[in-house]
Amino acid sequence: MIRVLLADDQALVRAGFRLILEDEPDVEVLEAADGEEAVALTRRERPDLVLMDVRMPGTDGLEATRRITGDPDLAGCRVVILTTFELDEYVFAALRGGASGFLVKDTEPADLLRAVRTVVAGEALLSPSVTRRLIEAFATGPAPSPVAGALAELTGRQLEIVRLVATGASNAEIAAALDITHATARTHVSRILGRLGLRDRAQLVVLAYESGLVAPGRR
């Protein structure tokens, strides 16, 4: 059973998403009306995934995300930011705050369901428009710092895998590109995340660009 917490201050929005999610036989839905309640419910109920609105009264979704992802007791919980806004400040703040994905609210129902299963399975998720904006921002921003620290200590094969992850490659695509099995690709990614102390692939993508290991337009 996949347990999903919907955090949104609009009851009608929560009701709509609940209808979509609960149509799946293996999905259970909880609800929170603001960030503070989302944090409290996450700590008490331990959902697999939180679908978090950004703009909510009191504790907003970005602060709630930071508190959830920063709690070592909630390491198994993932957060996907779900909002009507695609402002860059939200994208970067959400990813740096530990979110595993970012979707806009006009996402098609089938895509929402795929997103839930993708993130719960350990993958990162960004809507295509958000991914483009992320890459463009790195392309027009200040020069990245040199690769340093733990990233510089990775093996050549591991750095190659990080580059592929940063371009959006799935485990299956990594396996095909490097002529290895899907299980081996997944193991490599898991070991890299563990060595770098990262929660998931979303944080790995940010690190790859910020460190200069990957530049927009260069695979």
Residue at which a domain ends, from 136, 163, 178 = 136
Asked if residue 161 and residue 127 are part of one domain, the reply reads: no
Kindly report, residue by residue over 196-208, the tens digit of the pLDDT.
888 778 778 878 8
Asked if residue 42 and residue 103 are part of one domain, the reply reads: yes
Residue at which a domain ends, from 116, 136, 156 = 136
pLDDT above 70 coverage of the chain, percent: 84
Residue 102 located in a structural domain: yes
Asked if residue 197 and residue 109 are part of one domain, the reply reads: no
- Tokens 């970067």 label which residue? 92
Q: Which residue has the higher pLDDT, 84 or 182?
A: 182
Structural domain count of the chain: 2
Asked if residue 111 and residue 8 are part of one domain, the reply reads: yes
Domain ranges, residue 109:
2-136
219 confidence band (pLDDT: 50, 70, 90): very low
Residue at which a domain ends, from 136, 170, 188 = 136
Asked if residue 123 and residue 149 are part of one domain, the reply reads: no
Residue 164 located in a structural domain: yes
Asked if residue 149 and residue 165 are part of one domain, the reply reads: yes
Kindly report, residue by residue over 24-56, the tens digit of the pLDDT.
999 999 999 999 999 999 999 999 999 999 889
Kindly report, residue by residue over 113-157, the tens digit of the pLDDT.
988 998 888 776 765 566 656 656 655 555 555 555 667 889 999
Beta-strand pair 78-83/2-7 = unpaired
Alpha-carbon gap, residue 124 to 118, rounded angstroms: 7
Asked if residue 174 and residue 118 are part of one domain, the reply reads: no
CATH of the domain at 27: 3.40.50.2300
Q: Which residue has the higher pLDDT, 86 or 80?
A: 80
Alpha-carbon gap, residue 43 to 77, rounded angstroms: 10
Asked if residue 41 and residue 90 are part of one domain, the reply reads: yes
Three-state SS sequence of 60-118? CHHHHHHHHHCCHHHCCCEEEEEECCCCHHHHHHHHHCCCCEEEECCCCHHHHHHHHHH
Cα distances (Å, whole numbers) of residue 72 to 55, 66, 69: 25, 12, 8
pTM to 2 decimal places: 0.72
Neighbours of 53 (CB within 10 A): 26
